[in-house]
Amino acid sequence: MIFNTWVYGVFLTCFFVFYWVVPPKGRMAVLVVGGLVFYTYYLPLHTVLIVGLILATYGLGAAMDRLRNQETGAGLKGVFTLKTVLVLSLVLCLGVLAYFKYLPLLAATFDGLILLLRRGAPYQLPDIVIPLGLSFFVFEFVHYLAEVYKGSVPRGSLCEYAAFGMFFPTLVAGPIKRFQPFLEQIRHPVPFRLEYLSEGLYRILLGLGKKMIIADSMIYFTDPLANPLNAGGADYWVAMYAFAIKIYFDFSGYSDIAIGSAKVLGIRVPENFDRPYFQQNIAVFWNKWHMSLSSWIRDYLYIPLGGNRGTLLFTLRNLIMAMALCGLWHGAAWNFLVWGLYHGLGMSLFRVYRKKGTALINMVEKLPALPVKIVSILVTFHFVCFGWVFFAADLHTAFQFLALMFSF
């Protein structure tokens, strides 16, 4: 089910009524059933996958929980360590993600090499349909497993975990939730309040407006990104800005609908965007753009890689790696990897500037604050905009587009 369709409107309306009519104790089960209906509508087979993943990850989480507990986990102790179970569970989650999302990329690359070297037979890939919202719910499961491993969240019951995993407002496009805040809300259901409806409706309408009025209108301007040779002059610049507008309003619109849909059910989910194009440097941009993903990358990628707990070079390596993976998360194509590396390099440069550019920083601080702020915002915005070219087009087209942009 896609948000900006009538069927979702009907589904949400019916679910809203049903959810508030059911006694508070039953709402958790209603959320699970709602998620199942929502997901099954898209492709029933994939419901089996998500249900299987929920059961498996919950089971693995339970195993980790037992292993931490000396008495009840005694039977498991001799066979598995806590870390082994974590690795197993991560292999499971990331394996599913890799199979559905990245196998086609690897196969295509392999076939490209075969063709280049003129040796061997190309790999015949079966038709794979990527499950709706796969990247989002896998990241939520990884978060859950990592936190259970650390012992920082309660394991929760299977129903609670299923309600977390199958929560339909965030199932398709996030925001990527955290288990504990969600658990607290479903464990302590609130009575209906009119502001849930009004605030939720407001966010949903805002999101629909962003998506359908602004973002969808931009497609008339972005064609040069797909066919650069058919355009000329300022078309490239218009296309780049239009794409920047489109992607922000599209994604933040979707997030608004998700947040609003959760809100009408009296449930808060994380915000995802906070005026990202008005930030003064690329590091802050990433704190304001797709915030639930940025914080996930920070907590489960960047910090485990070592974060900034080492030399500057070590930090830069971690930054670039984390952003490269972040790029690949957005899509299984090499242009997304380049987009991630581009941002990783940008953040690294900014880090170097902050650490080693004291003289330059002092000089800038002596300049009038407002012009510096405006220039900083414009520089950051344009850095992001040029990056969108790699996001929007395959590598060959992206480089062609950039070359044509500057061929005055």
Partner 1 sequence: MGQKTVGSITFIVSLVVFFFITNSLALWYVFHQMGYDHNFRFADGAHVKAEVLDLYLEYVAGQGGYKIAVVGDSVVQGAGVPEREQTLTAHLQEELWGGYSKTARVFNFGLPGGRPADLYMMVKELHEAGAAQMIIVNISYPFFSYEMTKTPLLYFKVWSPGLSVIEKEELKVPAGFTSAQGAEASLQQGAEDSEDAGDNVEKTVSRYWAVYRFRQEINRYLFGGPPAVQGKAYLDLILHGIVPDAAPAEEFPEEEPLSEKDKPENRYKVWTSFPWSDQDKEHLKNVFNVTEEDNVNFKYYRLLCGYLQENDIPALIFMSPVNHSLLQRYELLDYSSYVHNTGLIRQVAEDRGILFLNYQEAIPPHLFHDSMHMLDEGNAITAGLLSQELQPLIEGAGQR
Q: What angle do CA 59, 65, 70 make, to 5 degrees?
A: 130
Q: Which is nearer to partner 1, 195 or 274 (CB)?
A: 195
Q: Which is nearer to partner 1, 205 or 313 (CB)?
A: 205
Of 38, 263, 65, the residue nearest 158 (C-alpha): 65
143 classed as catalytic:
no
Which of 287-294's residues contact partners 24+ apart within 8 Å by CB, and which partners? 290/174, 290/251, 291/175, 292/174, 292/175, 292/176, 292/177, 293/139, 293/174, 293/176, 293/326, 293/329
CB of 264 to partner 1, least distance (A): 12
CB of 242 to partner 1, least distance (A): 9
Q: Which three-class secondary structure string do you get for 106-127? A: HHHHHHHHHHHHCCCCCCCCCC
Contacts with partner 1, residue ranges (CB under 8 A): 5-7, 9-10, 193-195, 197-199, 201-202, 217-221, 232-235, 238
- Give the whole-angstrom CA distance, residue 401 versus residue 403: 5
Residue that has been written with the tokens 């989910």 in this structure: 269
CB of 36 to partner 1, least distance (A): 17
**DSSP codes joined into one string, 261-327:** HHHHTT-------S-GGG-SSHHHHHHHSSHHHHHHHIIIIIHHHTTTSS-HHHHHHHHHHHHHHHH
- Give the whole-angstrom CA distance, residue 156 versus residue 62: 9
CB of 7 to partner 1, least distance (A): 3
For residue 241, give the amino acid letter: Y
CB of 32 to partner 1, least distance (A): 22
CB of 85 to partner 1, least distance (A): 42
Question: Is 350 within 8 Å of 251 (Cβ atoms)?
Answer: no
CB of 407 to partner 1, least distance (A): 15
Q: Which is nearer to partner 1, 194 or 359 (CB)?
A: 194
CB of 194 to partner 1, least distance (A): 4
Q: Which is nearer to partner 1, 5 or 109 (CB)?
A: 5
Element (H, E) at 202: helix 194-208
My answer on whether omega of the bond before 175 falls inside 30° of 0, hence cis, is yes
Direct distance between the N- and C-terminal alpha carbons of the chain, in angstroms, rounded to an integer: 45
Question: Is 185 within 8 Å of 191 (Cβ atoms)?
Answer: no
- Give the whole-angstrom CA distance, residue 367 versus residue 19: 57
Q: Which is nearer to partner 1, 220 or 408 (CB)?
A: 220
Question: Is 256 within 8 Å of 207 (Cβ atoms)?
Answer: yes
Q: Which is nearer to partner 1, 9 or 95 (CB)?
A: 9
Question: Is 262 within 8 Å of 170 (Cβ atoms)?
Answer: yes
What single DSSP character describes residue 210?
A: I
Q: Give the chain's count of helices (H) and strands (E).
A: 21, 0
Q: Which is nearer to partner 1, 130 or 238 (CB)?
A: 238
Write down the catalytic residue from 46, 143, 330, 343.
330
Q: Which is nearer to partner 1, 76 or 226 (CB)?
A: 226
| Sign, Cα dihedral of 9, 133, 39, 194 | negative
Q: Which residues are catalytic?
A: 330
